[in-house]
Amino acid sequence: MVLADVTLRDGSHTVNHSFTTEQVRRVVAGLDRAGVPIVEVCHGDGLGGSSYQYGFSAVPELELIEAAAQTARRAKISVLLLPGIGVRDDLRQAAALGATVARIATHVTEADIAEQHIGLAKELGMTAVGFLMMAHTGSPEVVARQGRIMERAGADVVYVVDSAGAMTMEDVHARVSALREALACDVGFHAHNNLGLGVGNTITAARAGATWLDGSMCGFGAGAGNAQTEALVAVLQKLGYECGVDLLPLLDAADAVVRPLLPRPQVLDSKSLILGFAGVYSSFLLHAERAAERFDVDPREVLVEAGRLKSVGGQEDILVEIALGLSTRGAGQAEAVTR
């Protein structure tokens, strides 16, 4: 079992992309000491994500990647790239600074736009990972078909990504099983905890054949966060899965290094639960809160409408339009949550 920790990438959303070089060094050192094999470091929206659209990084992500690579003794440093946000030169620069795992992410129906980036990752000598986001919106057959595109492009691993934290355990099992049956390469799973199922869904994925699993220390991540790395490791060990991680040093790193970085407790509240219920991209939460405050409407109604419109990652700007519309016609006129 390969464990990838995304605290320093998905967690970037939670702190508005404000990680410092020293914070990155300390987190990487703690994870590395515990034996976590893969640590992901970059802007929350991937390479090139520092922008007006997604939020600017306090420290250029290439500096953070370089610091992580210099700190790690055993762990491999991973980066995420969404074609159209990041470009091939971003990947080349990250590789030159020490990143050795490239996760190329697309919407679950758009795997074809990842082909050249997966190919470049292989040319650069990196482990290439296909990342099928918002996988709850694609049937198991769609997930399998799109996964085959990524595998043919050279992916060493293809992930089912529950970007909205919207999947039940049955949803996870069906999609991971379909991908496992369709591919010869490894299969991975990335959870969000918006329905409170992050760890449970990840274990379900493991039982369905996923051998790469994601977690985030203290659940540090968009929305209600990700499957909590330290809890996931504890459960994996109790179930007899070997992931090569030493639990006690991992807990030390969580308590002493990561937890103090949280700007607020990573909890499942009504707004993050709505993300999972409505099937909305997890990183939309803070954007929805800001838009709702600006137009004095309920952020939950903004998220429900975003779900009704089937918004996808990269459409954060639609939240302002939704909030404006709600304020114009009256916030109480939004479509009922229970429909």
Residues tagged in the binding site annotation for Mn(2+)? 10, 190, 192
* DSSP 8-state symbol, 114: G
Residue set of the binding site for substrate = 9-10, 163, 190, 281
Instruction: Give the closest residue to 301 by CA, choosing from 312, 311, 313, 289.
Output: 289
Apex 11 CA angle, 276 and 165, nearest 5: 15
| 3-state SS, residue 104 | strand
- Among the options 13, 17, 107, 173, which is catalytic? 13
Taking CA atoms, 137 is separated from 143, 164, 319, in Å, by 9, 10, 19
Task: Please answer whether residues 25 and 68 qualify as being in contact, where contact means their C-beta atoms are separated by less than 8 angstroms.
Answer: yes
Helix or strand (DSSP H, E) at 10: none
Quote the DSSP letter at residue 54.
T
Identify whether 13 is a catalytic site residue. yes
Binding residues: 9-10, 163, 190, 192, 281
Rounded alpha-carbon distances, angstroms, from residue 59 to 31, 65, 220, 257, 292: 21, 11, 19, 19, 28
Cα separation, 322 vs 281, whole angstroms: 15
Q: Would you call 159 helix, strand, or coil by DSSP?
A: strand
Active site amino acids: 13
